[in-house]
Amino acid sequence: MVMRKLIPLLLILTVVVSGCLFKPPAEVKFSVDRTVVRPGETIHVMVLVNNTGKVGLTGATLVLSNDDFRILQEPRFPETLPVGRAVQLVWILKAPMRPGTYNLKLSLELTDELKRSWTGFYGQFRITVSSEVNPSLSVDLEVRAPEVITGGETANVTVVIRNRLDVPVELRDLTFNPLNGMKVVGAGDLPAKVDGNGEVRVTYRIEAPYAYRVGYISAILKYAVNGNEGSAIKSLQMKVVWRPWNRSEEVLKEAYGLNYHWITDGYIVDGYWMKTYNSTSAFDRAEFRETTLKIIGDSESEAQAAARIYDWMMGTYSLGDTTSSLDPSNILQQDRISYAEAQILITAMLRSVNVPARIITLSNGTDCTLRPMTEFYTADGWYIVDVKHGFTGSMDEYIASPYFPRLYQLVTKEGYRIVAQAPATLRGHEHVDVTGDFLANLEDRLLKTVSERLNPRLHSKLMRVMNDLDENQRLYALFLFASAPSNDDLNRVLDEYSTEKIEQDVKTLYEFYRDMTWREDFTRYWKVFVGEV
């Protein structure tokens, strides 16, 4: 077991006295649901993690040594797994398409509350991929559910348990894992047994979230035959689509709660804007609805709709810096518009199809028209459309983009605030300070997004780098890594460079640039980091 963190002497002494240094932080057991599969079928890797350490566990990363297998879906780790508690995690893998025998080698990395990484947990299985797979000779499952449902609707998910043995099978436990945000609003009872060559069914009633989801729902059965325990697992791919433009006002209010008013507000920017540009941002949503519906077509979520509006805008207008109107109706008719006008039009079009949307800007206390962007709300939080920089994505994706570091510097070093335009009386400045939405838990959010872009086997190396930097250096490092032009570039550099080189180069760059005005696009500093400039 390797503990990858430098710990102050006092903490080392405390840990040694408590016995933690000589004790693994967890007991880990690996299993797979089957070792013979058809080409391209799914395999379930089940990992039981029992926290036997001294602090809570906060994350688990599964590393595959064989690139022939691909992870289709990862489990949701508890926010914190307390000491003495256990959790069963299920990874869904896709088997290779080429028949043959493969060694599936697995390793697990755990992260604890002290942000330490623990490795040394391994599993290995021999998997045969064959087009000729015999049916199960014991107990198997089938999951039946609609392939697609709409957000907010309910549906039945039926788990069929088949006993292919001649003797009865004792049914001990059945666990159902829905998609993120799905609620189980009703469930049938699990029978005590299933007779030989018989089958039983358990039906769950699920309610879909007001959100787009695609992934696998799973059922895990624990059973016993003549006292010998066994388990079976089955998954089914399912999709939830959420089209707010087709839903009623009542449903929208339930879906968006306090953010519903960002649909119906009749103005987009405040009185300061209107005075500055001698124009009004008043608009009628109904005037834009038909045009916007044609643009978004068969979109299945707010994010897909926003992306199509953005793509349409890029193909329709020439963009510049001169703003002549705040009126969405006037902007729509022009051939050349400013970046600010583009953000106003996108915001109006999103509202017209029942998506909560608003303009956010920088404010220096006097001027609140700086660096406008559009925010729109979903069940997963706020998303951002930044026309000038060609960005559309979630807020966490935005703070892990090359365009956020300069914004961060303006806020933390130069006293600017990030505000959301909230016009009501049209008398001067009317906005809501949303700076905290961007800065809260910034390091953890950046680290999570950067880690998701990395090959899992590089996660422990990233954590070693982070643990040897101070707070400001860590943020700078994460800004650098997040600004890599592609995931391939990020993985190549972190794979090829030694930990010592990465740490030293980050420290050198931070010391050199920390008091300078950073560029709008932080990719420049990535290029310096990798020696391209």
Do 404 and 486 have their domain in common?
Answer: no
Q: Out of 208, 241, 274, pick the residue that ends a domain.
A: 241
Residues 410 and 286 in one domain: yes
Query: 136: pLDDT confidence band, cut at 50, 70 and 90?
Result: low
For 427-452, b where at least 16 C-beta lie within 10 A, e where not — what string? eebbbeebeebbeeebeebbbebbbe
The answer to whether residues 436 and 448 belong to one domain is no
The reply to whether 433 and 319 lie within a common domain is yes
Q: Scan for tokens 């307390």, then name that residue.
A: 82
Dump pLDDT digits (tens) for 352-370: 999 999 999 999 999 999 9
Regarding whether 146 and 61 lie in a shared domain, the answer is no
Does residue 67 sit within a domain?
Answer: yes
Q: How far is CA 11 from CA 5, 6, 114, in A?
A: 12, 10, 11
Between the CA of residue 516 and those of 415, 483, 510, 512, what are the distances in Å?
Answer: 16, 18, 10, 8
Look at the chain and count its residues: 533
- Residue 61's nearest CA partner among 133, 4, 136 is 4
Choose one of 440, 471, 498: the last residue of a domain.
440
CATH number of residue 293's parent domain: 3.10.620.30
Same domain, 257 and 307: yes
Asked whether the beta carbons of 348 and 283 are under 8 A apart, the reply is yes
List pLDDT tens digits, range 268-313.
Answer: 999 999 999 999 999 999 999 999 999 999 999 999 999 999 999 9
pLDDT at 176: 96
The number of domains in the chain is 4
Nearest CA-CA partner of 193 in 170, 167, 175, 172 = 170
The span from the CA of 436 to the CA of 439, in Å, is 5
Question: Does some domain include residue 134?
Answer: no
Tokens representing 124 are 């290995």
Say whether pLDDT at 265 is over 60.
yes
Torsion (CA) 441, 445, 446, 452 in degrees, nearest 10: 160
Last residue of a domain, one of 414, 440, 466: 440
Per residue in 369-410, pLDDT (tens digit) is 999 999 999 999 999 999 999 999 999 999 999 999 999 999
Same domain, 375 and 415: yes
Residues 212 and 290 in one domain: no
For the segment 496-531, what is each residue's pLDDT rounded down to a tens digit?
A: 999 999 999 999 999 999 999 999 999 999 999 999
> Residue 172 and residue 222: Cα distance in Å, rounded?
5
**Is the model's pLDDT at 228 over the cut of 70?**
yes
pLDDT band at 23 (very low <50, low <70, confident <90, very high): low
Position 65 scores a pLDDT of 87
Domain hosting 124: range is 26-129
Question: What value does the mean pLDDT of the chain take?
Answer: 93
Residues 424 and 275 in one domain: yes
In a domain? residue 21:
no
Residue 55: give its domain's CATH number: 2.60.40.10
Do 305 and 422 belong together in one domain? Answer: yes
Q: Is residue 14 a part of any domain in this protein?
A: no
Determine if the pTM surpasses 0.75. yes
Mean pLDDT across the stretch 46-74?
Answer: 94
Q: Please determine, for residue 67, whether its predicted confidence score (pLDDT) is greater than 90.
A: no
252 and 236 part of one domain: no
Residues 314, 204 share a domain = no
470-486 burial string, b = 16+ CB within 10 Å, else e?
eeebbbbbbbbbbbbee
Beta bridge partners, 385, equal 374, 392
